Structures are given as C-alpha cells and as structure tokens.
C-alpha cells in the first residue's frame, strides 16, 4: 500500500475547507438539492413534531425544502426584530396578539392569495390578509381526574380547597395564560382589563401561586410527574398528554373558552417567498389537515373539506367556533408590559 503523507500546510488547507463548507448557510446547501427552502418558525412540542413530520414530505413533493425551527411566538418576534433586513425565519406562526406587534414593527407582509391553491377552501374568517389561519386554538382548563374533581371554571380554582397547591399558572408572557387572566379579570373585576382585581386575588390567595412556572411547556412535564393537577391549556395540550397515556381531561370554563386563531405569516425581506407560499398552501391542504386533526396533535382543521373527528367535535364544532371568547389583543398588547412586570413583582414578592 502506498504511504499516505500529508503536509502540515495541506492539512491546514483541508481543515479550513471543511470549516468553510460547514459555515455555508443552510439555505445555500439546501439549494443544491431543492428549488428553495423555507425556514419556518413553529411553536415547540406538538406543533414542531406535526409540522416537521407532515409538511416536510408534502413540500418535498412540490420540490421545496422545509426547515422547521421551534420558537415561541414572542421569541420569533424578538429574533426577527433583532435581524432587520435579514430575517432568520421565512415564515412565522403566530396568534393575533403577536401578529399585531409584527405588523406595527413591519416584519410581516400581506400575502397574494392567488398563489395559494387551497385558499378558497378556507372560511372567509380564516382568510387573513397577512396569511391563512391554519387552526384555532381552543383554550380551557386541563385537569387530572385521578387527583382532583372536575373544575367548573376559573372561579372554582380559587374557591374550592380541592385545588389548593395543585394548580399551575404562568406569567403574562404566555398567550394561554394572558387569555385566562383576562377571563378571571371579568369574573373578579370590572372587565378584561381590570387586572388589579386578578393581582389582588393572587395576593389574597398566595397558596394558589405555589406552582408558577415560566412556560406552558414545563406544565405538561409537571403534569406528567403528578407535580400539578390543573393548568390553563389548549385542547392540543390535552390531546398530547392523552397520547402519552396520561389521565387528562379538558374543561370548557363556565364563562366561556378563550380562543386564538393561529396564522402563518410571510416574513418581510424573505428571499424564499415561493417556498413560503408552498408551505402555507401545504399547511391548509386537505392532505395535511386530515393528519393534523388526528392524535397526538388534534388541531382544529380550517380547511372546510376536512371533516372533524369525534374527539375534536367533543371539544368544539364549526358552529361553536363563533361562540368562543376572542380577546381584544390590542388592549392586551397595550397593557401587557405593565402586567408582566407587576406579576413578576407579586409572585416573587
């Protein structure tokens, strides 16, 4: 066998070449294989799994690549705002609360619906000028029937001793939490913005704040461990826990279930607009939504050709969608900073 010899200079060149290749942007490398790749931000957990597993093959068939990047809506905003002109994501996934901020900061753009083959299959209320609604998250209360009785609503959680120390909350940074707090403000205060009443409630019932965590994702882990028995959730949280074998049930609060449409947005300044349109179209297609509606995701389908499963119908039907509580996000966004700071001061107090 020939002796293999390599000089120090050649070895250095090889290393530099390898390093340079690895530093190439993902999109450039992907270009070699596909027409275009969309870097799409989705919420971590259920969303990330479902979107990666279901949409990636559909996009591939269309000749596009798809990279799913998990990030909470607030984190998506922060990252895009930190990179003006060079957005880290081509597509964003957000509820109306963050969408308003994204529009104000000029980081998303209006879409051209004629580029979406499945656009006409969406109900007009799901056809946003800034992107299609891919599902409606229905929020309520998750509880473990092995540990606590079925709660009637938010009031029960503060007034029934059965829930003492077993309810978990998060701060106002979470959309799920902020929607629950606005409902509690209606019950104990003069309206959804009367957060002073909620803060007073927390001050008067410190035992209810025992299990406060930073993120709703942590709550699912804590629920699995039996550390908590009740938390504010969306139906998809419950579906996920059930799919993991947990005894978890969903309750519509007696005051009504807060809901939030979830939309895909086209990031301003993206260089992969074609791929983003393909991604939007895939997400609202019947092929994808027929899978999203199944466990463990169980997302409410916005495509009118997709029939609801019995499990989703048990939570909400298409007719019931209109009766859900849709918060005023403009008002929430106006107060959110102050609420977040006040909440932190109270709970850490």
Partner 1 sequence: MKQSGFPYVVPMLLLSVVFFATPLAVLVGFSFITKGGVTLDHYARFFGDEFNFRVLINTARLGLETVIGTTLLGVPIALLYWHSGRTLRQVIIFLTLIPMLTSNVVRTFAWIVILGRQGPISEALMALGITGMPTSLMFTELGLVMAMCQIDLPLIILPLIAILTRTQYSLTEAAQVSGAGPWRILITLMLPLMLPGLLAGWILVFASTSSSFVTQAVIGGARNVYVPQLIYREVGTLFDWPLASAIAVVLLLSTGCLLVALTMISRHRRLNGHA
Which residues contact partner 1 (rule: CB under 8 A)? 72, 74-75, 77-78, 81-82, 170-171, 173, 209-215, 218, 221-222, 225-227, 337, 340-341, 344-345, 347-348
Nearest to 284 by CA among 137, 73, 135: 135
Task: Compute the least distance from the CB of residue 95 to partner 1, in Å.
Answer: 15
Smaller CB separation from partner 1, 27 or 170 = 170
Smaller CB separation from partner 1, 197 or 347 = 347
From CA 121, how far away is CA 2, in angstroms rounded?
A: 67
Smaller CB separation from partner 1, 213 or 316 = 213
Task: Compute the least distance from the CB of residue 282 to partner 1, in Å.
Answer: 29
Smaller CB separation from partner 1, 81 or 287 = 81
Token look-up 């389908």 returns 301
Smaller CB separation from partner 1, 147 or 294 = 147
Task: Compute the least distance from the CB of residue 345 to partner 1, in Å.
Answer: 5
Task: Compute the least distance from the CB of residue 228 to partner 1, in Å.
Answer: 9
Residue-level length of the chain: 349
Nearest to 131 by CA among 146, 115, 150: 115
Smaller CB separation from partner 1, 170 or 235 = 170
Nearest to 210 by CA among 201, 202, 198: 202
Contact call for residues 252 and 207 (beta carbons, < 8 A)? no
Nearest to 323 by CA among 233, 231, 252: 252
Contact call for residues 159 and 167 (beta carbons, < 8 A)? no
By DSSP bridging, strand 211-213 and strand 167-170 are parallel
Task: Compute the least distance from the CB of residue 234 to partner 1, in Å.
Answer: 19
From CA 180, how far away is CA 187, in angstroms rounded?
A: 11
């Amino acid at each position: 066998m020939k002796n293999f010899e390599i000089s120090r200079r050649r070895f250095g060149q090889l290393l530099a070449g390898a390093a340079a290749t690895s530093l190439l942007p993902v999109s450039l490398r992907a270009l070699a294989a596909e027409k275009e790749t969309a870097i799409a931000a989705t919420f971590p957990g259920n969303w990330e799994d479902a979107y990666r597993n279901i949409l990636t093959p559909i996009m591939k068939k269309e000749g596009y690549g798809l990279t799913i990047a998990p990030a909470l809506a607030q984190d998506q905003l922060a990252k895009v705002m930190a990179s003006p002109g060079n957005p880290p994501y081509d597509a964003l996934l957000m509820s109306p609360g963050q969408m308003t901020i994204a529009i104000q900061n000029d980081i998303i753009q209006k879409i051209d619906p004629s580029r979406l083959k499945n656009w006409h299959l969406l109900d007009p209320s799901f056809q946003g000028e800034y992107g299609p609604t891919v599902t409606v998250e229905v929020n309520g209360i998750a509880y473990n029937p092995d540990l606590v009785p079925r709660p009637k609503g938010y009031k029960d959680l503060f007034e029934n001793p059965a829930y003492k120390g077993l309810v978990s909350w998060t701060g106002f940074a979470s959309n799920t939490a902020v929607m629950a707090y606005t409902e509690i403000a209606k019950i104990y205060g003069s309206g959804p913005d009367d957060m002073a009443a909620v803060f007073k409630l927390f001050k008067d019932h410190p035992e209810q704040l025992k299990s406060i965590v930073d993120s709703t994702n942590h709550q699912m882990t804590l629920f699995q461990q039996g550390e908590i028995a009740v938390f504010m959730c969306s139906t998809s949280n419950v579906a996920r826990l059930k799919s993991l074998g947990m005894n978890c049930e969903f309750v519509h609060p007696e005051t009504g279930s807060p809901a939030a449409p979830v939309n895909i947005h086209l990031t301003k300044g993206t260089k992969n607009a074609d791929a983003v349109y393909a991604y939007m179209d895939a997400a609202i297609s019947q092929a994808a939504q027929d899978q999203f509606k199944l466990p463990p995701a169980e997302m409410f389908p916005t495509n009118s050709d997709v029939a609801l499963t019995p499990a989703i119908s048990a939570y909400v039907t298409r007719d019931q969608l209109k009766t859900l509580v849709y918060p005023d996000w403009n008002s929430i966004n106006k107060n959110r900073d102050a609420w977040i700071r006040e909440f932190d001061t109270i709970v850490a107090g």
